[in-house]
Chains A and B, each alone.
Chain A
Amino acid sequence: MHPHPKHYLKDGQIVTNNWQLVTADTAQLPSGNILVPAAYWQANQQQLADHSGEVGVWIDSHEEIEAFSSSIAAAPVIAINFPKFVDGRGFSLARLLRERFGYIGEIRAVGHFIRDQLFMMQRCGFNAFQFDSEIDLAAASQSLNDFSDSYQVAVDQPEPLFRRHR
């Protein structure tokens, strides 16, 4: 995971990234807005309450989101890590956050994913995309619009096609 790329995509726009991603082996929390590992978030609520900037959380693809569901509702940002771009667990995690746990803040994809996944990721509830490598974000954002409609229900469309048009 890149800890702090300058820009990322949010709600289809290129925005400045003022969040620092902290990993489990970070000795001291940096100042400013941070994204901390889910386990750290759970174990250090008091310390994080005193942090100078805003605090969000990041979850790895193998983690049980159910374990954190009650405490992270207040997080302004929840990042979901893709250890490999072919690891599809993050798609389910984002849907659970939105549809089961009612999370309405920013869900940001971090780690290894590719622009060709953006359409489906957005359908599952991701609204922010922080790429690991330097890529043309404006070009990548075009992949959000690969399809104009879909058969299935998802976060972006709670009614299936057959209930809307058939």
Chain B
Amino acid sequence: MYIYDQYDQKLVDERVEQYREQTKRYLDGQISEEQFLPLRLQNGLYVQRLAPMLRIAVPYGLMSSRQVRKIADISRTYDKGYVHFTTRQNIQLNWPVLEEVPDILAKLASVEMHAIQTSGNCIRNTTTDQFAGVACDEIEDPRPWCEIIRQWSTLHPEFAFLPRKFKIAVCGSEEDRAAFLLHDIGLQLVKNASGETGFHVYVGGGLGRTPVIASSIREFLPKQHLLTYLDAILRVYNRYGNRDNKYKARIKILVRAWTPEVFAQRVEAEWEHLKNAPATLTSQEIERVKGFFTAPDYQAVDSVALEAELSSQAAAHKAFSRWLDRNVRAQKQAGYAAVTLSLKPAGVAPGDVTDRQLEIIADLADRFSFGEIRTTHNQNIVLADVHKSELFELWQQAKSAGLATPNVGTINDMICCPGGDYCSLANAKSIPVAEAIQRKFDDLDYVYDLGDLELNISGCMNACGHHHIGHIGILGVDKKGEEWYQIQLGGSANKNAALGKVLGRSLSRDAVVDGIEKLLDVYVENRLDQESFLATYQRIGIEKFKERVYAPAS
């Protein structure tokens, strides 16, 4: 992974001191509430319903065991001993004290971490595939490009006060695991006919109140032009994005108003001035950054013997076999596998882990995955590069720490925002709904029989729980002070991204689980062979689901 040099380190150290001074002036009454707002947001600090919330950046979801131990230590010293993993691969502390945030940031800086631009109307953390570098369908490792974008976007002098927040994702594989078409800029790594790397550039995707799938504006951008082209897009947006209405301020609204064709022309015209300027990437810099993402020291393996051993372990332990099926994924290096540690056991808010679990995750990473930890936008943890002969031992250790629930990719592996329990924006609670669903569908045989199923829950239309792109989406709504839930079907976040359709009138909290059960019944009755929920829905349409859920009680 990327290691800071003296310049990277000095910048985060100076950022801590800048914010320490700003916090002091705020507490002394020299900075108004209004003026302090963007300053604290751009250092990750929100003021929430119950307490401040600090969002820590995990650039493209990659951390070392040393960093994870530091997070555990911080959560114990400055918080209540647990943290929350977010859908942008970041980490949130739910109970920090405003006065202590500069100290927390200093501790983060001591392990090459920060909270820069994790909130506010600026360029946010760049996200990517949690299986980057090991995915079998990878075109090119996206992480060096994410790091190049991280450095370019960090304290960019021109784009710190954009009309609205701005999110970039990079997809380096055939299958999309980064939901990159639902970002302000989505970059797909591609190769041209001569085998040269470039980017297919998409703009204007996003969730929130007006969900939109991004539009292509350039099919092949040669790699060395990445930063000047991003500068051109951001400059057009900074100058012409709507600043009067925050609900119309995302770039997607501008792209739609101008049309993608006109937006592309405006970007190209701006880029003509910037192209080949000194900000153009050098092959030396590209190689320097790529040099940090080298393959670990893989050992040659006897695949036949390994598979035989795994098969016999799986035959002897049904729970291990289930875990292999759901939580372990092949990677392109023979003899190794990528393991997802589920942060979705029933009874725990999705994505929450304790300080002790963080330390265990760090220990597991040191023991099994070369000390590297990845966070996922589905709010789980991935340990890649695990030698297959050690899977059984890893499973046993993860299981005793509550990190081996074999539910990855199932209905119980839901994406869920913090909701009305924590968030001041929420219309409704989301965590209790997630828990009720997990408790209802606790029969593992049934859950496995349902197969791949993405269920996403947001507590309000800001869509932090990505309800628009769940195969089943649940959206909390407020009806005259009561919490109700709208159900959507058919959303999907892959390369054929689709936004869910509303099933019908919203359901009361008590009726949600029953409604989900009916949806699943319709699926099971209508599916063909190995057809997934999404595929069945796409084939038979929404009507049968609707009829069942809203049928009068008999």
Residues of chain A touching chain B, judged by Cβ–Cβ distance below 8 Å, are 85-89, 91-92, 95, 100, 114, 116-117, 119-121, 123-124, 146-154, 158-163, 165-166
> Is B198 located at the chain interface by the 8 A CB criterion?
no
Q: B15, B161, B273: which contacts A88 (Cβ < 8 A)?
A: B161
* Contact (Cβ within 8 A) A86 B273: no
Chain B positions within 8 Å of A114 at CB level: 31, 35
Identity of the chain B residue whose Cβ is nearest the Cβ of A153 in the assembled complex: B279
Q: B35, B152, B154: which contacts A85 (Cβ < 8 A)?
A: B35
* Contact (Cβ within 8 A) B160 A88: yes
CB distance from A34 to the nearest CB of B (A): 27
Q: How many A-B residue pairs lie within 8 Å, measured between CB atoms?
A: 98
Chain A positions within 8 Å of B281 at CB level: 162
Chain A positions within 8 Å of B282 at CB level: 162-163
B273-326 contacts to A (CB < 8 Å): 273, 277-279, 281-282, 284-285, 288
Q: B10, B39, B235: which contacts A92 (Cβ < 8 A)?
A: B235
Given A86-B38, A89-B239, residue A146 in contact with residue B14 (CB < 8 A): yes
Additional A-B contact list (13), CB under 8 Å, known A124-B157, A153-B278: A86-B161, A88-B159, A89-B243, A114-B31, A114-B35, A116-B31, A119-B157, A123-B157, A158-B278, A160-B279, A161-B7, A166-B5, A166-B284
Q: How far is the CA of A93 from the CA of B281 in the complex (A)?
A: 25
Q: B157, B235, B288: which contacts A162 (Cβ < 8 A)?
A: B288
Q: How far is the CA of A86 from the CA of B5 in the complex (A)?
A: 32
> Is B538 located at the chain interface by the 8 A CB criterion?
no
Q: How far is the CA of A85 from the CA of B31 in the complex (A)?
A: 13
Chain A positions within 8 Å of B243 at CB level: 87, 89
* Contact (Cβ within 8 A) A151 B158: no
* Contact (Cβ within 8 A) B152 A147: no
Chain B positions within 8 Å of A163 at CB level: 278, 282, 285
* Contact (Cβ within 8 A) A148 B10: yes
6 smallest CB-CB distances across A and B, nearest first, come from A88-B161, A123-B157, A120-B157, A162-B285, A151-B151, A153-B279
Q: How far is the CA of A147 from the CA of B12 in the complex (A)?
A: 10
* Contact (Cβ within 8 A) B277 A88: no
* Contact (Cβ within 8 A) B157 A152: yes
Identity of the chain B residue whose Cβ is nearest the Cβ of A161 in the assembled complex: B7
Chain B positions within 8 Å of A147 at CB level: 11, 14-15, 18, 155
CB distance from B227 to the nearest CB of A (A): 8
Chain A positions within 8 Å of B11 at CB level: 147, 149-151
Q: How far is the CA of A89 from the CA of B157 in the complex (A)?
A: 12
Chain A positions within 8 Å of B158 at CB level: 88, 91-92, 95, 120, 124, 154
Query: B112-150 vs A: 1/0 string, CB under 8 Å?
Result: 000000000100000000000000000000000000000
Chain A positions within 8 Å of B279 at CB level: 152-153, 160
Identity of the chain B residue whose Cβ is nearest the Cβ of A136 in the assembled complex: B30
We find that the number of chain B residues with CB closer than 8 angstroms to chain A is 38
Chain B positions within 8 Å of A165 at CB level: 7
> Is B162 located at the chain interface by the 8 A CB criterion?
yes
> Is B218 located at the chain interface by the 8 A CB criterion?
no
CB distance from A146 to the nearest CB of B (A): 5
Counting chain B CB atoms within 10 Å of each CB, which of A85, A119, A158, A162 scores highest? A162
Given A151-B154, A160-B279, residue A91 in contact with residue B14 (CB < 8 A): no
Counting chain B CB atoms within 10 Å of each CB, which of A92, A119, A158 scores highest? A92
- Sampled A-B contacts (23; CB under 8 Å): A87-B161, A88-B121, A88-B159, A89-B239, A89-B243, A91-B157, A91-B158, A91-B159, A92-B238, A92-B239, A116-B35, A120-B157, A120-B160, A146-B14, A151-B7, A151-B154, A152-B156, A152-B157, A158-B278, A160-B278, A162-B282, A163-B278, A166-B285
* Contact (Cβ within 8 A) B273 A100: yes
Counting chain A CB atoms within 10 Å of each CB, which of B22, B235, B278 scores highest? B278
Chain A positions within 8 Å of B18 at CB level: 116, 146-147
CB distance from B155 to the nearest CB of A (A): 7
Q: How far is the CA of A140 from the CA of B7 in the complex (A)?
A: 25
Q: How far is the CA of A152 from the CA of B10 in the complex (A)?
A: 15
Q: How far is the CA of A95 from the CA of B239 in the complex (A)?
A: 12
Chain A positions within 8 Å of B288 at CB level: 162, 166
CB distance from A25 to the nearest CB of B (A): 22
Chain B positions within 8 Å of A91 at CB level: 157-161, 238
Identity of the chain B residue whose Cβ is nearest the Cβ of A143 in the assembled complex: B18
CB distance from B362 to the nearest CB of A (A): 29
Counting chain A CB atoms within 10 Å of each CB, which of B160, B162, B235 scores highest? B160
Q: How far is the CA of A87 from the CA of B10 in the complex (A)?
A: 29
Q: How far is the CA of A114 from the CA of B34 in the complex (A)?
A: 11
Identity of the chain A residue whose Cβ is nearest the Cβ of B234 in the assembled complex: A92
* Contact (Cβ within 8 A) B277 A153: yes
Identity of the chain B residue whose Cβ is nearest the Cβ of A145 in the assembled complex: B14
Chain A positions within 8 Å of B278 at CB level: 153, 158-160, 163
Q: How far is the CA of A153 from the CA of B162 in the complex (A)?
A: 18
Chain A positions within 8 Å of B284 at CB level: 162, 166
Q: How far is the CA of A100 from the CA of B107 in the complex (A)?
A: 42
Counting chain A CB atoms within 10 Å of each CB, which of B154, B157, B239, B279 scores highest? B157
Q: How far is the CA of A166 from the CA of B4 in the complex (A)?
A: 12
Identity of the chain B residue whose Cβ is nearest the Cβ of A112 in the assembled complex: B35
Q: How far is the CA of A148 from the CA of B15 in the complex (A)?
A: 11
B1-19 contacts to A (CB < 8 Å): 5, 7, 10-11, 14-15, 18
Identity of the chain B residue whose Cβ is nearest the Cβ of A64 in the assembled complex: B239
Chain B positions within 8 Å of A166 at CB level: 5, 284-285, 288
Chain A positions within 8 Å of B162 at CB level: 88
Counting chain A CB atoms within 10 Å of each CB, which of B10, B121, B158 scores highest? B158
CB distance from B282 to the nearest CB of A (A): 7
CB distance from A62 to the nearest CB of B (A): 9
Q: How far is the CA of A29 from the CA of B31 in the complex (A)?
A: 36
CB distance from A165 to the nearest CB of B (A): 6
Given A146-B14, A163-B278, residue A89 in contact with residue B35 (CB < 8 A): no
* Contact (Cβ within 8 A) A89 B285: no
Q: How far is the CA of A123 from the CA of B281 in the complex (A)?
A: 20
